[in-house]
Structure formats: C-alpha cells, structure tokens
Amino acid sequence: MAEPGPVSPATAGVICLSGLSFNAAATGNAREAHRIAREAFDAARAFAPRAEKEGGLLLTVQDTGGDFGLAAGAGPRAWAASLPGLVKTAAVEWPAASCKALDIATAAPGIESRLSPQVIAQRIADEVMAGGADRLIAIDSAGCRWTPEDAPCRLDRSGPPSLDLSGRPVVVVSGGGRGITATATLALAAAAPLRLVLLGRTVLTVEPAETAGLEDAAAIQRQLMSLGAKRGEVLGPRQLREQTGHILAAREIRRTLAALAARGSEAVYRSLDAADAAAVATALAEIRAAWGAPIAGIVHGAGVLADKRIAQKPPADFDRVFATKVHGLEALLRATDADPLRFIALFSSVAARYGNFGQCDYAMANEVLNHVARAEAARRGPACIVRSFNWGPWDGGMVTPALRELFHGRGIGLIGEAEGAAQFVDELLRGRPGLDEVDVMLGSTLVPETV
C-alpha cells in the first residue's frame, strides 16, 4: 500500500474509484475492505494539506447496491462500504472543501451483466458537474438519484424477549475483558447465565507483589522504578507507562472474570489479537471441545483509537485502527460460520454516522461494521438477531478525563455506564429481527462542527 502518486500539492480534486473494485475472491473480504479503504485514505492524506487551506473536491465512488446497503442487496460488497466514513470526516476537517460519497449500482439485482464503464463514468461526471451540495448520493441501476436521510422512529419494545438465552449459551466477546464491552457483557450475564470466552490482547501475567496494594498509577510507577533499580535497570518513562498500563489492564480483566462468576456465568479469557483469524479459530475450537457446545453469540467490541487529522495520520495508525475492527469482524464470522448463532452484536460508533475530527480510520472501519451487519441480517434471517450499535461517547471506556471535559464543555452528553449497558441488553433481548432495526444509534449525537 503505497502513497498515491497522482495526488500532488497542485491537485484541485480527488475522485477515488477504489470502492468499485471489490473482489473478495482475490484476497478475502477483510483484505479487500482494507485495500479499498487504504487507497482512499492515502489519496485523501496526500490531498489534505491543500484541502484544509483552499478546499477542493473529494468524491468517493462505491457499489454497495446503489442504496448504501439499506436494502442489504450488497451481499459481500458490504465490506467495501468504508468510504463514506472518510468523506464525512473530511467534511469536518476541511470545511472549505466539497466532500461527497457516491454509491452507484453497477448492475440490476439478479442480473449478471453490468453497466458499461462509459455509463458509470457519465453518472460520476454528472454528479461532479451538477450534483449540488448533498453529502451522500445513491444512484440505482436505472439511474435514479436519491439521498438518504435520518428519520426518527419509535420502536415497540413490549412483549416477550425475542432472543433466547436459555441453556447457558456460549458467547464469544472480543475486547470483553475491559471497558464498555465488559460493562455491557456483565449486564447481559445478569439477564441470563452464560458461558463466555473473552478475547483480548492483554497477557494475564503475575503482578509483582510489591505493587499489589497500590491503586494510583503514579505510585505503581514509583514502585516499578524502585524494583528496576534493585535489578540494576533504568526504566524510562515509556517503559513505566507501559508496565503500569499492563498491570492495571490485567487487574480489570480479573475483576471482570470474578464479576461474571458472581453472576452465575462461566467465563474464560484468551489472550490474542482479535484480527488474527487463525488464533481466533483455534481458541474457539478449543472452547467447543471443552464445553461441548457450539458458539451461540458474538459480541465484537474490540477497538483502538489513534486520533489525528487526515493530513497528520500515520498510515501505520490507520492500518491498526481499521484492522482491529474489520479484520477482527471477519475472523469472528469465519470462526463461527458453522455455528447456529442466535445473535451478533457489533460495537460501532456515531463517528461512522457523522464523521468525527481525527477519526477517519475509526469512522471508516465502523461503516464497514454497519453495512456487514445488514448483510448478515439479510443472509441469516429471523433466526439470528443482528445489531450494530452506533454508540455515542460513553462516560468511561476510551473517553479520557480530558475528552470528558471537552464533551461537557461543548454540550455533548455522555452515556452513563449503567444506562448504556441497559440499552445494550434491551436491544438484544427485545429488539426484533429484520433489517429495520439492525443499525441502532444510542446516546448523544455528535455534532461534527464542534467535535
């Protein structure tokens, strides 16, 4: 994945066509999703210095059914759905630029023949020349142009639960040992006893006895520095932060495991990268053998942030953020392909819905989650509840004290942990199958102009 050559400081506009080139047969869904997203990001990054100061045009083009996947007709092409996340974030960071995402249906449903390159090119040209100020534009196979809009709706949550959690079902949770995913998982376990396998990167090593009674990070660092000095080691600030962070993370995971056990659930923790398909498959095979039961549910909560403007974002950071969400999702879906899943719950973000300053990678990855969720719901039918939770900012998890003050100062309410966990459980237990309720936006709405 190299820097795009044609984008120079003199470039007045960028039209990215990578979303038309999806080919899962070549490399697999997640790899194709990553290639498409990275090509667009590289072009936008090269264009960003000019776009920030002078404006210009950023237009991305994809084929996810000519409706941004709303009818779930995209199938595997849902994995090519990242580009609007880049466009929405670019619009936040480049207020003088024209930023658009175009979804063109290149073939009618059920028809093998596709539109000619000339017809596709003309539709793109028409949008560039006369399309107006719309951010998201869909063009169906007949050439009809429309734009999606948010509309409020009231959901019926009366009646018995839709999701059956009887029989202590086995649920796999990525990122479930810590943060808001752990909070949500604990709430789900309070609703019904489960058997849970939590996946995370943290290795549960034995903590030094000298730090065991210390709760303050600074105190832990001082003790680690003292222990290092006794061994003749000089620990630098970065080493101290990393070791302290590891100690605190391991403690949190152990607390989560203990709390799950207290709720009557059986839980194990496996240290691995959720994006490592082979490691995930091996871990789940071991779980099936140990517990004698298939996997019944997926919660994909793993995620990392590396916030920087498009112009300053290192490609390595982009790859890490995107892969954790998207490759992690594919790894979980592949590892459970033969399991009778009762539910799939994906932790997405309102950053995918609106874009957010510094989070093009996170917005793009979560766009993929939202679209793949719809495709999975269409493929699996009513036997499996599928939800992609577009969370607003929680009062915890990745929201640091500094970010909390920023949100409060700009009038953006945070989701309380108890409130968010209750919403999570309610959506899974009482939400209905089908496409109408797959994308769920919960909590406060991010305001792109001020975040």
pLDDT value, residue 451: 29
pLDDT at 447 over 60: no
| Nearby residues of 104 by Cβ (< 8 Å), 6 or more positions away | 20, 61, 62, 63, 66, 115, 120, 123, 124, 139
Taking CB atoms within 8 Å and a gap of at least 24, the contacts of 24-31 are: 24/76, 24/79, 28/330, 29/76, 29/79, 29/330, 30/79, 30/323, 30/326, 30/327, 30/329, 30/330, 30/331
Distance CA 444, CA 449 (A): 15
pLDDT at 450 over 50: no
* pLDDT band, residue 27 (cuts 50/70/90): confident
Distance CA 59, CA 40 (A): 10
Label residue 136 exposed, middle or buried (CB < 10 Å: 0-12, 13-18, 19+): middle
pLDDT tens per residue, range 142-187: 889 999 887 776 667 777 778 999 999 999 999 989 999 999 999 9
pLDDT value, residue 7: 79
Topology annotation, domain 13-148+294-442: Rossmann fold (3.40.50)
Residue spans per domain, the chain: 13-148+294-442, 170-291
For the beta carbon of residue 360, count every other beta carbon within 10 angstroms. Answer: 34
Taking residues 207-224, report their average pLDDT: 89
pLDDT value, residue 414: 85
pLDDT tens per residue, range 230-287: 898 888 999 999 999 889 999 999 999 999 999 999 999 999 999 999 999 999 999 9
Q: b or e along 54-74 (b: 16 or more beta carbons within 10 Å of the residue's beta carbon)?
A: ebbbbbbbbbbbbbbbbebbb
pLDDT tens per residue, range 115-144: 889 999 999 999 999 878 899 999 998 889
pLDDT value, residue 300: 98
Sign of the dihedral defined by the CA atoms of residues 170, 174, 179, 181, in that order? negative
